[in-house]
Amino acid sequence: ARVDKGGYKHFMAKEIAEQPSVLKNTLSHYQNADASEVELPDHNIDLAHIDRLTMVACGTAFYAALTAKYWFEKIARVPVDVDVASEFRYREPPVSPGTCALFVSQSGETADTLAALRYMASQNATILSVVNVPESSIARESDLVLPLHAGVEIGVASTKAFTAQLAVLALLAIKIAYARGAIDAAQYRTHIAELNRLPGLISQALGIDGAVQDIAKKLATAQDIIFLGRGALYPLAMEGALKLKEISYIHAEGYPSGELKHGPIALIDKSVPVVVMAPMDPLFDKSVSNMQEVMARSGQVLLISCKQGLKTAAEGTWAQITMPTTPDLLAPIIYAIPAQLLAYHTALAKGTDADQPRNLAKSVTVE
């Protein structure tokens, strides 16, 4: 079927706005009727005995994998390695028996990711994949395919596929956590219920659109922008920076907040906006103290947090974006919305083409 922009200026805007219904659909494919079980497509993988997971991807899918590492390690207690496919494939990493390899790819056709998959298959690893295109090469060569059910994604910068990847990876993490006995039945159900709040929380988060338009006017004049996050928000800081550079052509870097003093703080002055993603999680106070170090050097902080977080820490910041209060598990998925909208509106303010950024392709099928 032909897909049109449905009244939006860009496919990217449409795909951002679609996320509540996309996630609802994705979640519905992965649970039973009373939301008491995560259900995966048929497979014969012994989830209780996944002792190590190797994740490989490129671009935005790589950041989805990096975010999922926090969930697999913290919730399921499974050690995870994550790598970009172009590095992984040539390193010839030794593979121990029983290794599970998980490939994340919207298109399912990215050449480096596919080559990494073939390498792992040649080493007898069990191959799992999270793809949006179920007929793709990566899907065909996997032992277990977890489709996103996100519908066709046209904007070059991935948005709805990213949040759907995170949702599927979170579902898999809690499924494996429960299978391994790392969480009990009550915690398992709680996490399923949390994930089912995603569509509602994402719609709420989308309400920031107007506020982001104003902020983007100033971001559009910057030469460099730094994104900071801690824990599962660190990969999201990198994803926010990637989106911004892809479509607005402004140099941006994502850093773990705690690493600020080991380099990037030297870049800070009043001309450098610093986007701080700080949900009220156990690391909130640490993020705030890193943010204060930025402000002490005249950095212009855009603080993204919930109402309570902003009430505690907004003093002295240049701008704020209010996010709904979220369970820790969902924070990196909800905070993807401001990352996407900041990039989109900054691109609009600069007059670049968000759907067709220069030099980039939707799917990189050659090396």
- Asked if 130 contacts 146 with a C-beta cutoff of 8 angstroms, the reply is yes
Closest by Cα among 111, 150, 125 to 55: 125
Contact flag: residue 248 with ligand G6P (CB under 6 A):
no
Stretch that binds ligand G6P, among 59-67, 167-175, 192-200, 284-292 (CB under 6 A): 59-67
Give the total of residues touching ligand G6P (CB under 6 A).
16
> What do you get for the CA distance between the two ends of the chain, in Å?
30
The helix (run of H) or strand (run of E) holding residue 229 is: strand 224-229
Binding residue for ligand G6P, selected from 99, 158, 305, 322, defined by CB under 6 A: 158
Query: Judged by CB under 6 A, which stretch of 71-79, 256-264, 303-311, 359-367 contacts ligand G6P?
Result: 359-367
- Nearest-CB residue for ligand G6P: 59
Tokens encoding 304: 């993204």
In sign, the C-alpha dihedral spanning 52, 101, 159, 177 is negative
- Rounded to whole angstroms, how far apart are CA atoms 275 and 234? 12
SS3 (DSSP) at 37: coil
Q: Which is nearer to ligand G6P, 231 or 357 (CB)?
A: 357
Closest-CA residue to 246 (of 124, 159, 120): 159
Q: Which of 17, 56, 59, 330 forms a contact with ligand G6P (CB under 6 A)?
A: 59
Task: CB nearer to ligand G6P: give 239 or 328.
Answer: 239
Please give the residues from 137 up to 156 whose contact with ligand G6P meets the rule CB under 6 A: 156
Contact 127, 117 (CB under 8 A): yes
Residues 96-115 close enough to bind ligand G6P by CB under 6 A: 105-107, 110, 113
Nearer Cβ to ligand G6P (168/291): 168
Q: What is the DSSP letter of 107?
A: S
HSE value, Cβ hemisphere, 13 Å, CA-based, for 366: 2
Residue with Cβ nearer ligand G6P (12 or 294): 12
Q: Is 178 or 344 the residue whose CB approaches ligand G6P more closely?
A: 344
Q: Is 261 a catalytic residue?
A: no
CB of 355 to ligand G6P, least distance (A): 11
Q: Where do contacts with ligand G6P occur on this chain (CB under 6 A)?
A: 58-61, 105-107, 110, 113, 156-158, 360, 362-364
**Which residues are part of the catalytic machinery?**
362
